[in-house]
Structure 1
């Protein structure tokens, strides 16, 4: 027995093709695009909270050491590689496809609208949301139509078409504001361009940080940076070959309150057998080979020499200390692992650029310049932990396997000025403070997508402004028997439409050398509720 004979309704399945069409329509809807954009912003949150392998390897190492029980499942979820993870890439690609699927049909529709003439006039213009009527006009109908065409085309930039209706009425139909939809499309295309630019930047960018002591240099090579991060498609051979040397660093401070006024790093750049003198200031980066070098910080690096108990030089050089306040009270660590015999040595303490000792014996700095530099250090002995394979912060001392040196139950403190040599306690050797140099912290950034991001952002702002502030209007004029009826229709709410309709009616009705409304003329206007 057939379904028809049994009296039952049979609903045919939409099939695979129908399901694919349904999924595509949902994916390319504007609501889904907005939802994916919001989802992408939410998906980026773990990348800013959890230390990432590529951008923060030291933070990643510390995190897995502090949270070993979480590492396994976090690795499976790719939470340490958020921006290259499968789930983040899936959202990114879906958003990209959704936007393209939204844009292409709208471009086709807009192209047809540009080619199509303005629509024909409604039968009754006085029923439109904005309308006006001019009656009792003395000039003939053709002259009225010419005035209407001139006002619409030359003054208001409408696209105008003239018609003659069967009853003898003369009709003018006009439309303007196509740029509104053009701006809307520009905004969405720019958004796609922005997504592509960001993706290119994530693939090919690189960024390096280096601390450069006065008189020393570094080469623009990955191995020369203190920390370095790059995109997955980065090629080390793409780095611009140059060498930079810090010649001098100038810092100006206000005498009254020790506030910084100006920082200038004077550097020498050796690039392709040419040498040049350059300056780097705060917020004024140096641009080399498409990369920008920013001045991120500065401080003091005391030059020290440590000899072990056998009199052998175990360490010599300038050690950067990190400023802790506006008077450059600087904290630092000196690690001495290469001791020929006995325990390794660690010295932790402060460099005081302009030292002053209080009555209680405490030391402090009173000014950021080097007026009376003093090193105040405590001494540790034991195992520095440099051989366990876990990266360490060079500015922190791992004291888990070390003992602080004390005498008679009191911690031994070394107070040393430039040019002085003191013996280390427990016959560990000697310590010499040779002087102080300045250092700068530089941040080099290279992102090939910055220009594209800028262009896409400007285009997005322009497109958004066009879509918000350019009105889309249609105007019709019907002239018959010295009566001109004018009607207007806007695609969105338009407060100025009625004013424009009335202005056109007044212009049609007004004599050439008389007020817009005179004896024997009447302008009737209205706005439908």
Structure 2
């Protein structure tokens, strides 16, 4: 009688592998994205995107530079301009997308450079690696026979390499002496300096934008302005700049001179100015287009010039307004033909008793078919064409308007009416229907001055020089490792010296290796000849056919 074996219990299936928690998955995802962001390839792509993003800022007018040009673009392209404005293309360098690319590039460079800097610091303290077992597999290798013993042969190699500024380490492996040497660590240092300087350049540019400011103003000869946002025609400032941070200095324009070549191209613009703290007598100075005034870290540039025609207005009751003027802005740089407007709101008691002269100024004028044109930028025969308007100018309406042109909306509403026009040379007059006399008495020159403060300018210069130095080191220096192994030659009792070189960063490794082996052969022969009389050493054998 046999007994049946009890049924065996089925083995329990292995438990499923534990799934990583949501925190670990999130951490792995963030780590992968961080590695992608800090890769050198990403930094190069972001640098290209930053350069690409700056293109619209050079093609389209920017509010920070000229609000008038932006307004003119809106007038010329009423359909396209609002679309571009929603994309911040008139404020490119302060737009969110430009700031995002800028910050991503900054983070990418820091995350890419700092680990490499730490790795380079460790490499500076690490000796050259041991020689590979088969030197013949290196790109450049040769065997040099010599009658010298192995230690002395390696001494000769070490001397030659130290002269060439290599770091040298001697080792012994398996009873065989060998040598390892390297140089060119400054190549990696130049790479790091280049990228660190690029980070410093970005920081300096950002600092200059945050703490910098600039303003532009037209100053007529004899006029004066002080460094205040309220006095500038246009100004821009960083987010961290307040009005009290501006340098307290005032600048007066005493005289302006423009010189021209024979073909009427501008040769130089120079302005005699005075400058000093408010309430004090100014010190004289002369500035030009590329020769600004530098005071307390600020700079005052001459960026342009023009003319301000002068008029004398005599009212019917005999009251006179002498030498009233307004700057006329140039519309043609080649002839300095200029347009502008002179507004006189205080002629009478009523708001409708106001006068405006809209005009065209020609430094050297010529009238053809009753139309005044300018033929020379020099003021040889100044003339002005004016159109007189009377009525309400709208200066107290609360709406902003340009000081260099009339508010055409008042003309369209009929509140400002044309009452006369004339072409006038210096000293000539025209009389309006109500008896008002307008006399063209002459002109004054004005200079367009720009006041700039950029605290990051020196740092930008230093960073740019460091970028150039790092780039030169990265391109011109070579990373080179030299290995040598001395083994005994049983046939003649001498030594076979194996030499191999690994070069990175240049394409002339073969000529350099040939020069090194030639120097080593000469040094080995000289050492062998020097010790031959004392120990009767055999002369150096002929080169082995294995030499390369």
| Unpaired stretches in structure 2, ≥5 consecutive residues | 1-10, 489-494, 530-538
What is the TM-score normalised by the length of structure 2? 0.83
The partner residue of 2:475 within 468, 484, 502 is 468
Whether contact under 8 Å (1:131, 1:488) holds in the other structure is yes
- Provide, for residues 122-160 of structure 1, a one-character-per-residue CA deviation record: whole Å limited to 9, x for no partner: 11111111111212x233333321221111111x21100
Query: Are the aligned partners of 1:314 and 1:338 in contact in 2 as well (CA < 8 Å)?
Result: no
Cα deviation digits, residues 13-72 of structure 1 (max 9, x gap): 642322222222222122222233233334445555665555444455666788888999
Question: 1:266 deviation in Å?
Answer: 0.9
1:141 aligns with 2:141: no
Contact 1:314/1:336 (<8 A) preserved: no
The equivalent residue for 1:33 is 43
In the alignment, which residue of structure 1 is the partner of 2:99?
89
CA distance in 2, matches of 1:18, 1:356: 78
1:251-330 map, 5 Å: 251-254=258-261, 256-271=262-277, 273=280, 275-307=282-314, 312=319, 317-323=324-330, 324-330=332-338
Q: Quickly say closer, same or farther: Cα 1:325–1:503, change in 2 above 3 A.
A: closer
Tell me, yes or no, if the aligned pair for 1:133 and 1:523 is still in contact at 8 Å: no
Aligned length: 513
Picking from 156, 166, 178, the partner of 2:174 is: 166
Residue 318 (structure 1) shift: 2.4
Any idea what the Cα deviations from partners look like across 1:346-400, whole Å, max 9, x if unmatched? Answer: 3223223333445x45444444333332222223345444445443333333334
Q: Is the 8 A contact 2:372 2:423 kept in 1?
A: no
Whole-angstrom distance in 1 between the partners of 2:241 and 2:418: 51
Q: Which has the larger radius of gyration?
A: 2
Equivalent residue of 1:211, what SS?
strand
Deviation at 1:197? 0.9
Greater Cα shift, 482-491 or 448-457: 482-491
The CA deviation string for residues 455-513 of structure 1, in whole angstroms up to 9 with x for no partner, is: 11111111122112211111101112321111011245x33222333333322322229
Confirm whether residue 371 of structure 1 aligns to residue 383 of structure 2: no
Match for residue 219 of structure 1? 226
Structure 1 partner of 2:502: 489
TM-score (normalised: structure 1):
0.86
Residue of structure 1 equivalent to 2:526: 512
Unpaired runs of at least 5, structure 1: none
- Farther-moved stretch of structure 1 (383-392 vs 182-191): 383-392
Match of 1:110 among 117, 120, 135: 120
Stretch deviating more after TM superposition (385-394 or 429-438): 385-394
Q: Contact (CA 8 Å) 2:356, 2:389: kept in 1 or not?
A: yes
Q: Deviations over 1:56-92 (max 9, x none)?
A: 4445566678888899987876666544444433332
CA distance in 2, matches of 1:306, 1:525: 102
Q: Distance in 2 between matches of 1:79 and 1:356?
A: 42
- 2 CA distance for matches of 1:90 and 1:121? 48
Secondary structure of residue in 2 paired with 1:401: helix
**1:393 lines up with 2:417 in the alignment:** no
* 3-state secondary structure, aligned to 1:118: coil
Give, in whole Å, the separation in 2 of the partners of 1:72 and 1:356.
41
Structure 2 Cα separation of the partners of residues 51 and 279 of structure 1: 31
Residue equivalent to 2:486: 479
SS at match of 2:154: helix
- More displaced stretch, 69-78 vs 312-321: 69-78
Q: Distance in 2 between matches of 1:233 and 1:4?
A: 70
- Go from structure 1 to structure 2 and tell me whether the alpha carbon gap of 1:506 and 1:401 turns closer, same or farther (over 3 Å shift): same
Output the aligned Cα RMSD.
3.4
Report Cα offsets for 1:270-293 as digits up to 9, x if no partner. 237463210011211111221111
Q: 1:4 to 1:76 in 2, by over 3 A?
A: farther
Note the alpha carbon deviations across 1:193-223, whole angstroms, 9 max, x for none. Answer: 1111111111111111111111111112222
| 1:20–1:487 Cα change, 3 Å | same
